[in-house]
Amino acid sequence: MSKPVSMQEMVSSRTEAAADDAEIMAKVAAFDTPSVGIFNKDGLGMDPALKHYSRDDADGLHPKASLKPGILPSVLHNIGNTPLVRCSRLAEAEGIKCELLAKCEFFNSGGSVKDRIARRMVEEAERDGRLIPGVSTIIEPTSGNTGIGLALAAAVKGYRCIIVMPMKMSQEKVDVLRGLGAEIVRTPTEAAWNSPESHVTQALRLEKEIPHAVVLDQYSNPNNPLAHYDGTAEELIEQCDGKIDYLVAGAGTGGTISGIARKLKEKVPGIQVVGVDPYGSILAQPAELNETDITGYQIEGIGYDFLPKVLDRTSVDIWRKSKDIDAFNMSRKLIRLEGLLCGGSCGSAMSAAVEFCKTLPADKRVVVVLPDSTRNYMSKFLNDAWMEDNNFIESQFDPELQAEWWFNEPVSNMPQNFPITLNCSISCEGAAKIMAKEDFNQMPVIGDDGQIVGIASEANLMTKMIQKKLKGTDPISGAVYKDFKQVDTTETVGNISRMLDKEHFVLVVSKQRCYTSEGEASEKLTIYSIVTRADVWTFMNSRKSGESTPAE
């Protein structure tokens, strides 16, 4: 009996076919088209044809907390009515005079603001007949939080759920999704939204291939902003007795900031909305704000390389750009000073809000939306080693260790075992023979263009072949690690020794400029060496055994 093919393997084997599917690629292209039938054109409200729910309707999707029963029918009824908390200690520490309030969305059942839209999209799809419990499959491309909200609803209501998400999203999100019974497909972080490899394209392909599958599509589903227009915004108005001077929120799909802003601008005269977008994203206006050398960011859940339909940029009065380093350190500060167990994108919104608030007088009130919880990032910004590895905080080493002769030596001063590389087209069987012949248990894999594709490890290769996930004739490119530590030749041996506490090896690279024509040069990374714990240990002890270093 043959082993069933996993969802991930099915998607990986059909990526190229997606590019040739005109129907799928047309749907992908529609993700970046102007919204129709969502927002009114006069700058206020939502399309009048859309269905709304009153806060006074106990059976509606967004009832007041006072209307909820003491015993809830299910965990889905614990979504909404999140607390608004005064951040007085943070304000004092930052020298802020105005009132600073945090809307703590991580108190929702699934731990994020996206629980609101997940429940609303599912229940509206059930009313429309698109979703049938026990029959339909829910599929969604997401950065993780919408996936968790949908998986939560699917677990309660009895749906199969498939979540398609980029590789950069945290392992904690993956573990929670699997715990809720969702199937997960990972896509390359670097894939553009409209490429065949993207999470959007792969979700639409699965929808076409799986019977009774539905992509609820948070990027264009009007129930995304409506959940905030009918729910979150009304809560804020009630909690603040109608007095809000500024709203600060991050922009991802745009449903949160657009839905809240539309309602607040109707009911709170003079309110200003501040949108926060990470460097490397294109959502902010004017376009000049998005000009940067930063091509990627670690923050999850906000920022995109296209304009989702549910993002109404006309409802945002002021845009601020955020940096990873400021965001993650602000999240840590919120946890330490206010006890708010919030996630990384909370730090993006709050760091921008803090700088903005420093210009405001004491009589102003600022509300900041904090989208998700610390639970999703325990191995990331809460982890000192991760923060140090990504240069978000300075490394904290024992002074005695730093005084060792080898600690600040550049890795280029170590004796180098210049690696042998594998071309990405070499077969898995051939790669295994080469590694055995050369006595290497891992080797870099290089593409036809000379760029580094990843690292092939003997153990990983053997495991995949034994489990029948790869055949001996398959190219080695299907068995590479892409998530590995990479440093340049100036990195110190001390820092590399810290990395090797968690990593099996560190790849040392150098930059090379290549002229393709007169006056036109390109830059690529070339492999300098691979460093292991044994290499560092040998170097540390080289003086004791009377060996000299290249620097001597």
Give 291's contacts (C-beta < 8 A, 6+ positions apart).
none
Give which of 352, 344, 350 is closest to 369, Cα–Cα. Answer: 350
Determine which helix (DSSP H) or strand (DSSP E) holds 27, and give its type and residue range: helix 22-29
Per DSSP, the three-state class of 141 is strand
Order of strands across the sheet with 365-370?
A: 84-86, 99-104, 365-370, 246-250, 272-278, 318-322
- Residue 448: CB partners within 8 Å, gap ≥ 6? 423, 424, 425
Task: Supply the angle between the helices 171-179 and 145-157 in degrees, to the nearest 10.
Answer: 10
Break the chain down into helix, strand, coil percent, rounded to 5. 40, 20, 45
The number of angstroms, rounded, from the C-alpha of 45 to the middle of its chain's C-alpha atoms is: 30
Q: Name beta bridge partners: 322.
A: 278
3-state secondary structure 211-248: CCEEECCCCCCCHHHHHHHHHHHHHHHHHCCCCCCEEE
Q: How many CB atoms lie within 10 A of CB 318?
A: 15
* 425: phi then psi, degrees, rounded to nearest 5: -90, -10
Backbone region of residue 513 per phi and psi (left: phi > 0; alpha: psi in -120 to 50; beta: other values): beta
**Using CA atoms, how far apart are residues 132 and 272, in angstroms rounded to an integer?**
41
Prior bond of 133 cis (ω within 30°): no
Report the half-sphere exposure of 33 (CA within 13 A, side-chain side).
8
Can you say whether the dihedral through the CA atoms of 493, 498, 503, 507 is positive or negative?
Answer: negative
Residue from 51, 68, 97, 114 carrying the catalytic annotation: 114
Residue in 323, 331, 318, 334 with CA at minimum distance from that of residue 248: 318
Maximum CA extent, the chain: 83
Q: What is the Cα–Cα distance from 520 to 343, expressed in whole angstroms?
A: 43
Measure CA of the first residue to CA of the last residue in the chain; give whole Å. Answer: 64
437 classed as catalytic = no
Please choose, from the candidates 287, 238, 228, 292, the residue with its C-alpha nearest in 3D space to the C-alpha of residue 263.
Answer: 228
- Helix H, strand E, coil C: the string for 500-542 is CCCCCCEEEEEEEEEEEECCEEEEEEEEEEEECHHHHHHHHCC
Give the pair of three-digit tokens for residue 547: 């060996």
- The residues carrying an active-site annotation are 114
